[in-house]
């Protein structure tokens, strides 16, 4: 099929993101941020999504296509039959995109369903972005041996021999040590942050709910999934802190009812506010006194960076694998033992009474322009 020729002398590139959906979560937000930064640098950006869900405002210059995949409904062991058919759908769509917008120089696959499909495409322009430690996300470390073997086999058939980008160095360590994957290559590239855009969004017209006072509430943002984000630990720690301020939780998810029950259980119904998913959470972050992350694991911990960019101190469990790479040198005091509600509650109270200083120089390594150039450098 005919493909538009590209002038080798041009600096403009065409980058395609293949992702499961554009629902309101961290991995999806990262690729949108990266795509928009590439636009600013004069590059062409296209998205192919597995599922037709878009919950973000996306720059109109980004081309978004739905894959319309065949859905496998049987045993996982036979899923490759459907995957091969979906590869054909992907390649056909890719050809149409290239006819219209020019050759794609780099394909970045993110999240499991797209990774399964693209793992069957042998091309040095395909990279898989992994945003979380897979051994923890899939339960490999916790399950009995037979389930562990099954899940390791499933991960290996996707990622063995593939080019991998991890959002932290720890993700690569986890992939090799616990998931037993042998990638063709691994490169850690941190998530990109547009400091100016974050500050602009934080300054948009905004009014706090009447029951909240600026700089007098703690904030948590994350999917309502207790297994990873551990809002149960957060709520217990908040109760133990004896703080009289409010704790605000932004997000949504399958465990919302459990979280409401935990709020009642720990007797903090009047002090915990569930404010739902917010398309623009930055004004909430800007007006918070302290941001708190309570996860058992993170691929990185975007919102920790976002909070500090806006001058809001952050506190996190020292969970694998991101926060420890964010809070380095003089910011290590912002980490507490993972799973320890008493220690988290004590530190919440300490930081509320005396907020820690933010090392702005250390944050500069996460600037979007720097990170985006690292992606462009891998183009074959």
Task: Please write down the HEC assignment for all residues of 137-202.
Answer: HCCCCCCCHHHHHHHHHHHHHHHCCCEEEECCHHHHHHHHHCCCCCCCEEEECCCCECHHHHHHHH
- 3-state secondary structure at position 134: helix
The pLDDT score that the predictor gives to residue 9 is 39
- 3-state secondary structure at position 288: coil
Concatenating the DSSP letter of every residue in 49-72 gives: ESS--B-S---TTSEEEE--PPPP
The alpha carbons of the chain give a radius of gyration, in whole angstroms, of: 21
| Pair (151, 117) in one structural domain | yes
What domain count does the chain have? 2
CA–CA distance, 205 with 195 (Å, rounded to integer) = 18
Sign of CA dihedral 290, 55, 13, 69: positive
Which tokens hold the place of 312? Answer: 């809001």
| Pair (223, 156) in one structural domain | no
Looking from the CA of 256 toward its CB, the CA atoms found within 13 Å total 13
Strands (E), 69-144: 106-110, 126-130
CB count in 10 Å sphere of residue 333: 13
Measured CA to CA in angstroms, residue 163 lies from 30, 107, 159 at distances of 19, 11, 8
Residue 39 near residue 60 (C-beta atoms within 8 A): no
Concatenating the DSSP letter of every residue in 196-233 gives: HHHHHHHTSS----TT--TTSEEEEES-S-HHHH-HHH
| Pair (134, 231) in one structural domain | no
| Pair (175, 287) in one structural domain | no
Predicted TM-score of the model (pTM): 0.79
| Pair (333, 261) in one structural domain | yes
The pLDDT score that the predictor gives to residue 75 is 66
Q: Which domain holds residue 178?
A: 14-193+367-376
CATH number of the domain bearing residue 186: 3.40.50.2000
Q: Is residue 136 part of a domain?
A: yes
The pLDDT score that the predictor gives to residue 358 is 93
Which tokens hold the place of 112? Answer: 């499991």
| Pair (304, 173) in one structural domain | no
- 3-state secondary structure at position 106: strand
Q: Is 265 exposed, middle or buried (0-12, 13-18, 19+ CB in 10 A)?
A: middle
Q: Is residue 4 part of a domain?
A: no
CA–CA distance, 294 with 289 (Å, rounded to integer) = 16
| Pair (187, 212) in one structural domain | no
Which tokens hold the place of 84? Answer: 């091969």
Q: Is residue 7 part of a domain?
A: no
The pLDDT score that the predictor gives to residue 81 is 77
| Pair (89, 199) in one structural domain | no
Q: Is residue 6 part of a domain?
A: no
Q: Is residue 297 part of a domain?
A: yes
| Pair (234, 165) in one structural domain | no
| Pair (220, 186) in one structural domain | no
The pLDDT score that the predictor gives to residue 265 is 97
Helix axes 231-241, 256-265, angle to 10 degrees: 20
| Pair (227, 142) in one structural domain | no
Q: Is residue 1 part of a domain?
A: no
CA–CA distance, 199 with 283 (Å, rounded to integer) = 9
Q: Is residue 64 part of a domain?
A: yes
Strand order, beta sheet including 246-250: 272-276, 246-250, 217-221, 290-293, 314-317, 335-336
CA–CA distance, 138 with 232 (Å, rounded to integer) = 20
- What is the residue whose two structure tokens read 């998205």? 47
CA–CA distance, 351 with 315 (Å, rounded to integer) = 8
The pLDDT score that the predictor gives to residue 1 is 31
CA–CA distance, 290 with 353 (Å, rounded to integer) = 10
For the chain, 380 residues long, give each residue's pLDDT as a single digit of tens. 333 344 343 489 999 999 999 886 778 888 898 999 999 999 999 999 999 888 888 889 999 999 988 887 766 666 777 888 999 999 999 999 999 999 999 999 999 899 999 999 999 999 999 988 888 777 777 767 667 888 898 899 999 999 999 988 989 999 999 999 999 999 999 988 989 999 999 999 999 999 999 999 999 999 999 988 999 999 999 999 999 999 999 999 999 999 999 999 999 999 999 999 998 999 999 999 999 999 998 878 889 999 999 999 999 999 877 899 999 888 999 999 999 999 999 999 999 999 999 998 899 999 999 999 999 999 98
| Pair (49, 83) in one structural domain | yes
CB count in 10 Å sphere of residue 354: 8
Q: Is residue 224 part of a domain?
A: yes
Beta-strand relationship, 126-130 and 163-166: parallel
For the chain, the straight-line distance linking the first and the last C-alpha, in angstroms and rounded, comes to 22
């Amino acid at each position: 099929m005919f493909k538009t020729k590209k002038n080798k002398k041009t600096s403009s590139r065409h980058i395609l993101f293949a992702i499961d959906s554009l629902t309101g979560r961290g991995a999806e937000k990262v690729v949108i941020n990266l795509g928009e930064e590439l636009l600013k640098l004069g590059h062409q950006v296209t998205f192919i999504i597995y599922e037709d869900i878009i919950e973000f405002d996306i720059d109109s210059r980004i081309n978004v296509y739905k894959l319309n995949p065949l859905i496998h409904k049987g045993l996982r062991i036979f899923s490759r039959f459907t995957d091969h058919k979906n590869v054909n759908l992907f390649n056909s769509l890719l050809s149409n995109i290239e006819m219209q917008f020019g050759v794609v120089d780099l394909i970045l696959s993110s999240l499991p369903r797209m990774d399964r499909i693209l793992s069957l495409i042998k091309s040095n322009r395909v990279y898989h972005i992994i945003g979380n430690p897979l051994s923890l996300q899939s339960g490999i470390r916790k399950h009995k041996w037979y389930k562990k073997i099954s899940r390791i086999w499933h991960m290996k058939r996707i990622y063995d021999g593939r080019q991998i980008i991890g959002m932290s160095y720890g993700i690569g360590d986890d992939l090799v040590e616990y998931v037993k994957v042998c990638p063709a290559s691994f490169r850690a590239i941190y998530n990109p942050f547009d400091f100016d855009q974050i500050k602009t969004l934080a300054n948009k017209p905004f009014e706090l709910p009447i029951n909240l006072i600026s700089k007098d509430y703690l904030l948590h943002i994350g999917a309502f999934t207790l297994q990873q984000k551990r809002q149960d630990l957060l709520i217990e720690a908040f109760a133990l802190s004896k703080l009289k301020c409010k704790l605000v939780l932004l997000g949504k998810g399958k465990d919302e009812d459990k979280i409401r029950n935990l709020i009642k259980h720990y007797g903090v119904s009047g002090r915990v506010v569930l404010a739902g998913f917010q398309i623009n959470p930055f004004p909430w972050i800007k007006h918070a006194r302290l941001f708190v992350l309570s996860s058992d694991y993170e691929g990185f911990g975007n919102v920790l960076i976002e909070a500090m960019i806006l001058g809001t101190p952050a506190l996190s469990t020292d969970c694998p694998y991101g926060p420890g790479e964010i809070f380095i040198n003089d910011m290590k005091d912002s980490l507490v033992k993972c799973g320890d509600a008493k220690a988290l509650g004590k530190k919440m109270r300490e930081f509320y009474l005396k907020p820690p200083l933010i090392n702005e120089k250390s944050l500069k390594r996460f600037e979007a322009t720097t990170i985006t150039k690292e992606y462009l450098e891998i183009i074959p």
